[in-house]
Chain A
Protein backbone atom coordinates (compact mmCIF):
# COMPACT_ATOMS: atom_id res chain seq x y z
CA UNK A 1 0.00 0.00 0.00
CA UNK A 2 2.68 2.45 1.04
CA UNK A 3 4.69 1.62 -2.06
CA UNK A 4 1.68 2.20 -4.29
CA UNK A 5 1.12 5.66 -2.83
CA UNK A 6 4.81 6.48 -3.10
CA UNK A 7 4.80 5.25 -6.72
CA UNK A 8 2.01 7.74 -7.41
CA UNK A 9 4.45 10.51 -6.44
CA UNK A 10 3.28 11.11 -2.88
CA UNK A 11 5.97 10.86 -0.18
CA UNK A 12 4.81 8.45 2.55
CA UNK A 13 5.70 7.58 6.11
CA UNK A 14 4.16 4.87 8.25
CA UNK A 15 3.95 4.19 11.95
CA UNK A 16 4.79 0.55 12.56
CA UNK A 17 4.15 -1.55 15.61
CA UNK A 18 5.20 -4.95 14.24
CA UNK A 19 8.91 -4.77 13.53
CA UNK A 20 9.07 -8.12 11.78
CA UNK A 21 6.58 -7.01 9.13
CA UNK A 22 8.39 -3.68 8.69
CA UNK A 23 11.72 -5.40 8.15
CA UNK A 24 10.20 -7.68 5.53
CA UNK A 25 8.15 -5.06 3.70
CA UNK A 26 10.77 -2.28 3.84
CA UNK A 27 8.42 0.70 3.47
CA UNK A 28 10.01 3.93 2.16
CA UNK A 29 9.98 5.55 5.64
CA UNK A 30 8.68 4.22 8.94
CA UNK A 31 8.66 5.03 12.63
CA UNK A 32 8.77 1.87 14.72
CA UNK A 33 7.27 1.72 18.21
CA UNK A 34 7.19 -1.46 20.27
CA UNK A 35 3.63 -0.81 21.37
CA UNK A 36 0.49 -2.98 21.48
CA UNK A 37 -1.37 -3.63 18.23
CA UNK A 38 -4.09 -1.11 17.58
CA UNK A 39 -2.16 1.81 19.13
CA UNK A 40 0.09 3.35 16.46
CA UNK A 41 -0.33 6.86 17.91
CA UNK A 42 -0.35 5.64 21.50
CA UNK A 43 -2.96 5.84 24.21
CA UNK A 44 -6.46 7.34 24.11
CA UNK A 45 -6.69 10.78 25.67
CA UNK A 46 -2.95 11.51 25.51
CA UNK A 47 -2.71 14.19 22.81
CA UNK A 48 0.90 15.09 23.68
CA UNK A 49 1.96 11.50 23.05
CA UNK A 50 -0.01 11.30 19.82
CA UNK A 51 1.43 14.64 18.70
CA UNK A 52 4.99 13.48 19.36
CA UNK A 53 4.55 10.34 17.23
CA UNK A 54 2.99 12.43 14.48
CA UNK A 55 5.87 14.93 14.56
CA UNK A 56 8.44 12.12 14.52
CA UNK A 57 6.75 10.58 11.50
CA UNK A 58 6.33 13.84 9.58
CA UNK A 59 9.88 14.81 10.49
CA UNK A 60 11.10 11.67 8.76
CA UNK A 61 9.62 12.99 5.52
CA UNK A 62 12.11 15.86 5.78
CA UNK A 63 15.15 13.96 7.00
CA UNK A 64 15.08 10.55 5.27
CA UNK A 65 17.17 10.41 2.11
CA UNK A 66 16.80 6.77 0.98
CA UNK A 67 14.01 4.18 0.86
CA UNK A 68 13.85 1.85 3.82
CA UNK A 69 14.61 4.49 6.46
CA UNK A 70 13.45 3.27 9.88
CA UNK A 71 13.31 5.54 12.94
CA UNK A 72 13.11 3.97 16.38
CA UNK A 73 12.41 6.63 19.03
CA UNK A 74 12.18 3.92 21.72
CA UNK A 75 9.37 5.47 23.77
CA UNK A 76 8.37 2.93 26.41
CA UNK A 77 4.67 2.03 26.47
CA UNK A 78 2.84 4.24 28.98
CA UNK A 79 5.98 5.12 30.98
CA UNK A 80 7.17 8.22 29.16
CA UNK A 81 6.41 11.90 29.68
CA UNK A 82 5.88 13.84 26.48
CA UNK A 83 6.40 17.54 25.91
CA UNK A 84 3.32 19.39 27.08
CA UNK A 85 2.31 16.81 29.72
Chain B
Protein backbone atom coordinates (compact mmCIF):
# COMPACT_ATOMS: atom_id res chain seq x y z
CA UNK B 1 0.00 0.00 0.00
CA UNK B 2 1.44 3.38 -0.91
CA UNK B 3 2.13 6.10 1.61
CA UNK B 4 -0.71 8.38 0.55
CA UNK B 5 -3.32 5.66 1.06
CA UNK B 6 -1.81 4.78 4.42
CA UNK B 7 -2.00 8.43 5.48
CA UNK B 8 -5.64 8.71 4.39
CA UNK B 9 -6.57 5.60 6.35
CA UNK B 10 -4.78 6.82 9.46
CA UNK B 11 -6.52 10.19 9.22
CA UNK B 12 -9.89 8.45 8.83
CA UNK B 13 -9.33 6.58 12.09
CA UNK B 14 -8.48 9.77 13.95
CA UNK B 15 -11.59 11.53 12.61
CA UNK B 16 -13.81 8.60 13.64
CA UNK B 17 -12.54 8.95 17.20
CA UNK B 18 -13.06 12.70 17.44
CA UNK B 19 -16.34 13.95 15.92
CA UNK B 20 -15.58 17.51 17.07
CA UNK B 21 -12.56 17.56 14.74
CA UNK B 22 -14.88 16.68 11.88
CA UNK B 23 -17.18 19.59 12.72
CA UNK B 24 -14.23 21.95 12.86
CA UNK B 25 -12.97 20.69 9.49
CA UNK B 26 -16.43 21.05 7.96
CA UNK B 27 -16.84 24.63 9.18
CA UNK B 28 -13.80 25.62 7.13
CA UNK B 29 -15.23 24.23 3.90
CA UNK B 30 -18.19 24.93 1.69
CA UNK B 31 -20.49 22.05 0.82
CA UNK B 32 -23.54 23.91 -0.36
CA UNK B 33 -23.96 25.19 -3.86
CA UNK B 34 -26.64 27.61 -2.76
CA UNK B 35 -28.44 28.37 0.46
CA UNK B 36 -31.84 27.50 -0.93
CA UNK B 37 -34.10 24.76 0.32
CA UNK B 38 -34.10 22.09 -2.35
CA UNK B 39 -36.74 20.22 -4.33
CA UNK B 40 -39.53 18.45 -2.50
CA UNK B 41 -41.23 15.20 -3.41
CA UNK B 42 -44.02 14.47 -0.90
CA UNK B 43 -44.77 10.92 0.18
CA UNK B 44 -47.84 9.91 -1.81
CA UNK B 45 -48.63 6.53 -0.27
CA UNK B 46 -48.25 4.81 3.09
CA UNK B 47 -44.78 3.56 4.03
CA UNK B 48 -46.22 0.05 4.19
CA UNK B 49 -46.70 0.28 0.42
CA UNK B 50 -43.22 1.68 -0.28
CA UNK B 51 -40.09 0.00 -1.61
CA UNK B 52 -37.05 1.58 -0.02
CA UNK B 53 -33.79 2.15 -1.93
CA UNK B 54 -30.52 2.58 -0.09
CA UNK B 55 -28.00 5.13 -1.34
CA UNK B 56 -24.74 5.05 0.57
CA UNK B 57 -21.52 7.01 0.17
CA UNK B 58 -19.75 4.39 2.27
CA UNK B 59 -17.94 2.80 -0.69
CA UNK B 60 -20.12 -0.33 -0.81
CA UNK B 61 -20.02 -2.42 -4.00
CA UNK B 62 -20.11 -6.02 -5.20
CA UNK B 63 -16.86 -7.94 -5.16
CA UNK B 64 -17.32 -8.57 -8.89
CA UNK B 65 -17.52 -4.83 -9.70
CA UNK B 66 -14.50 -2.54 -10.22
CA UNK B 67 -13.48 -1.01 -6.89
CA UNK B 68 -13.64 2.76 -6.43
CA UNK B 69 -10.57 4.72 -7.52
CA UNK B 70 -8.30 5.17 -4.53
CA UNK B 71 -5.34 6.43 -6.60
CA UNK B 72 -6.89 9.75 -7.69
CA UNK B 73 -6.57 12.27 -4.81
CA UNK B 74 -9.81 13.90 -6.07
CA UNK B 75 -11.69 10.66 -5.50
CA UNK B 76 -14.21 8.86 -7.69
CA UNK B 77 -17.61 10.27 -8.78
CA UNK B 78 -19.00 6.99 -10.15
CA UNK B 79 -21.49 4.65 -8.48
CA UNK B 80 -22.14 0.92 -8.33
CA UNK B 81 -25.54 -0.78 -8.59
CA UNK B 82 -26.30 -3.28 -5.87
CA UNK B 83 -29.30 -5.60 -6.39
CA UNK B 84 -31.43 -6.41 -3.34
CA UNK B 85 -30.77 -10.12 -3.65
CA UNK B 86 -26.98 -9.80 -3.69
CA UNK B 87 -25.36 -12.44 -1.46
CA UNK B 88 -24.10 -10.62 1.63
CA UNK B 89 -20.68 -12.18 1.24
CA UNK B 90 -20.33 -10.44 -2.13
CA UNK B 91 -20.68 -6.96 -0.64
CA UNK B 92 -17.38 -5.21 0.05
CA UNK B 93 -16.19 -1.70 0.90
CA UNK B 94 -13.53 0.29 -0.96
CA UNK B 95 -13.02 3.65 0.76
CA UNK B 96 -9.81 4.97 2.35
CA UNK B 97 -11.37 8.15 3.72
CA UNK B 98 -13.37 6.83 6.66
CA UNK B 99 -12.80 4.15 9.25
CA UNK B 100 -14.97 1.26 8.04
CA UNK B 101 -13.71 -1.47 10.33
CA UNK B 102 -17.10 -1.54 12.14
CA UNK B 103 -19.01 -1.47 8.84
CA UNK B 104 -16.83 -4.38 7.75
CA UNK B 105 -17.99 -6.33 10.80
CA UNK B 106 -21.65 -5.53 10.17
CA UNK B 107 -22.51 -3.86 6.88
CA UNK B 108 -25.87 -2.70 8.30
CA UNK B 109 -23.93 0.07 10.03
CA UNK B 110 -23.77 1.89 6.65
CA UNK B 111 -26.00 -0.25 4.41
CA UNK B 112 -28.98 -1.55 6.42
CA UNK B 113 -30.34 -4.06 3.93
CA UNK B 114 -30.98 -6.72 6.61
CA UNK B 115 -32.91 -4.20 8.71
CA UNK B 116 -35.04 -3.23 5.68
CA UNK B 117 -35.91 -6.88 5.11
CA UNK B 118 -36.96 -7.21 8.76
CA UNK B 119 -39.21 -4.15 8.47
CA UNK B 120 -40.74 -5.68 5.34
CA UNK B 121 -41.49 -8.93 7.21
CA UNK B 122 -43.24 -6.86 9.89
CA UNK B 123 -45.27 -5.03 7.25
CA UNK B 124 -43.79 -1.59 8.01
CA UNK B 125 -42.54 -1.23 4.42
CA UNK B 126 -43.33 -3.18 1.28
CA UNK B 127 -39.70 -4.16 0.94
CA UNK B 128 -36.26 -3.11 -0.18
CA UNK B 129 -36.23 -1.62 -3.69
CA UNK B 130 -34.83 -3.95 -6.39
CA UNK B 131 -31.73 -1.78 -6.75
CA UNK B 132 -29.50 0.17 -4.33
CA UNK B 133 -26.59 2.48 -5.08
CA UNK B 134 -23.08 2.58 -3.68
CA UNK B 135 -20.94 5.70 -3.93
CA UNK B 136 -17.54 6.49 -2.48
CA UNK B 137 -18.03 9.72 -0.59
CA UNK B 138 -14.67 11.31 -1.24
CA UNK B 139 -15.14 13.51 -4.33
CA UNK B 140 -13.18 16.72 -4.66
CA UNK B 141 -11.83 19.27 -7.16
CA UNK B 142 -13.10 19.04 -10.74
CA UNK B 143 -14.86 15.75 -10.04
CA UNK B 144 -17.47 17.52 -7.88
CA UNK B 145 -18.88 19.15 -11.01
CA UNK B 146 -19.10 15.77 -12.71
CA UNK B 147 -20.85 14.29 -9.69
CA UNK B 148 -23.44 17.05 -9.60
CA UNK B 149 -24.02 17.44 -13.34
CA UNK B 150 -23.75 13.86 -14.55
CA UNK B 151 -23.57 11.16 -11.92
CA UNK B 152 -26.23 12.32 -9.46
CA UNK B 153 -28.98 12.85 -12.08
CA UNK B 154 -28.08 9.51 -13.72
CA UNK B 155 -28.28 7.76 -10.34
CA UNK B 156 -31.62 9.39 -9.60
CA UNK B 157 -33.04 8.32 -12.96
CA UNK B 158 -31.83 4.79 -12.33
CA UNK B 159 -33.64 4.64 -8.97
CA UNK B 160 -36.82 6.07 -10.45
CA UNK B 161 -36.67 3.60 -13.33
CA UNK B 162 -36.25 0.54 -11.14
CA UNK B 163 -39.22 0.99 -8.86
CA UNK B 164 -37.86 2.78 -5.79
CA UNK B 165 -40.65 4.64 -3.96
CA UNK B 166 -38.45 6.32 -1.35
CA UNK B 167 -34.71 6.53 -0.73
CA UNK B 168 -32.63 6.43 2.43
CA UNK B 169 -29.22 8.06 2.14
CA UNK B 170 -26.45 7.02 4.46
CA UNK B 171 -23.22 9.00 4.41
CA UNK B 172 -20.10 7.50 5.86
Interface hits, B122-172 → A, CB 8 Å: 124-125, 135, 147-148, 152-153, 155-157, 159-160, 164-172
Q: Which residue of B lies closest to A3 (CB)?
A: B38
Taking beta carbons and an 8 Å cutoff, which residues of B are in contact with A? 12, 15-17, 19, 22-23, 26-27, 30-32, 35-43, 47, 50, 52-53, 55, 57-58, 98-100, 102-103, 105-106, 108-110, 112, 114-116, 118-119, 124-125, 135, 147-148, 152-153, 155-157, 159-160, 164-172
Find chain A residues with CB under 8 A from B168 CB. 12-15, 54, 57-58
Check B39–A28 contact: CB distance below 8 A. yes
Taking beta carbons and an 8 Å cutoff, which residues of A are in contact with B? 1-21, 24-28, 34-45, 47, 50-51, 54-55, 57-58, 61-62, 66-68
| Contact status of A1 and B55, CB under 8 A, knowing A19-B23, A58-B125 | yes
Check A10–B164 contact: CB distance below 8 A. yes
Find chain A residues with CB under 8 A from B58 CB. 38
